[in-house]
Amino acid sequence: MSAQPPAPAPIRRLTVPQIAARKGAEPIVALTASHVQFARILDAHCDVLLVGDSLGMVSHGFETTLPVSLELMIAHGAAVVRGTARALVVVDMPFGSYEESPQVAFRSAARIMAETGCQAVKLEGGARMAETIAFLTARGIPVMAHIGLTPQSSNTMGGFKTQGREADSWPLHHADAAAVAEAGAFSVVLEGMVEPLAAEVSAACPIPTIGIGASAACDGQILVMEDMLGLGDWAPKFVRKFADLRGEVDRAAGAYAAEVRARSFPAEDETYR
């Protein structure tokens, strides 16, 4: 009787300490995700999947991320967790769910963690949010920070502006990175930063930096999945479209519509007798 082949090893989800240990080592691969089907596909390729509040714009048609609610983030976050087995899942804390006080932030973050099953939350802001980050991490909630261009603050920043074009602003960004690291964040997103500044911040910061429009100098990269797949009709300068799914979906929908109108779909093979 031949021996049975060994059972495949179970897939283990990446942990917060494993991602934190990537600093200066293997680059961190991250994408946003908000749907279970896409999450299942991305899970094999990504170390981190972020359920970003950008879903308000790409999935729900909002002009900004500001209208996104805690309940909406929880619904999408739970779907992504259900569709994954390997990637670390991080859920964005939406505008208004954490800024008031560390205590309010904890209640919001605790709901996200409990109702989605995710492994961490992300919030925007540097030194001004250090107290909140420390409050959350001391109570068992891992935090990914987000500095540089912070979309939830776009109204006070005067729009979506690249950060670091004026050298006199660089100390503020360095201070933000140092503050979130000291407060206990396990990683930090750098968004919309000029390359020399992002390189300096990444070199000085003791936790992994994950760039979006912040050059290859970061410890990892993240893009909005819909931008990367070419699903939109516009994307920022820093996006590389690795596919043209908008064109492919348009082609497929057109072919389907033509066959329905010609009564050639469904055919015999697609019909129950």
Is 99 annotated as contributing to ligand binding?
no
Buried b (16+ CB within 10 A) or exposed e, 128-147: ebbebbbbbbeeebbbbbbb
Is 54 annotated as contributing to ligand binding?
yes
Is 176 annotated as contributing to ligand binding?
no
Q: In terms of residues, how long is the chain?
A: 273
- Beta-bridged to residue 212, according to DSSP, are 191
- Pairing relationship of beta strands 88-92 and 48-51 according to DSSP bridges: parallel
C-alpha span between 63 and 59 (Å, rounded)? 11
Is 122 annotated as contributing to ligand binding?
yes
- The beta strand positions in 152-200, using DSSP E, are 187-191
C-alpha span between 209 and 20 (Å, rounded)? 10
Candidates 71, 115, 191, 200; catalytic one: 191
C-alpha span between 237 and 208 (Å, rounded)? 23
The reply to whether 191 belongs to the active site is yes
C-alpha span between 73 and 90 (Å, rounded)? 11
- The beta strand positions in the chain, using DSSP E, are 28-32, 48-51, 88-92, 120-122, 143-148, 187-191, 209-212, 220-223
Is 53 annotated as contributing to ligand binding?
yes
Contact 180, 133 (CB under 8 A): yes
- Residues at the annotated binding site for 3-methyl-2-oxobutanoate? 53-54, 92, 122
- Residues at the annotated binding site for Mg(2+)? 53, 92, 124
- Residues at the annotated binding site? 53-54, 92, 122, 124
Q: Any idea which residues carry the catalytic annotation?
A: 191
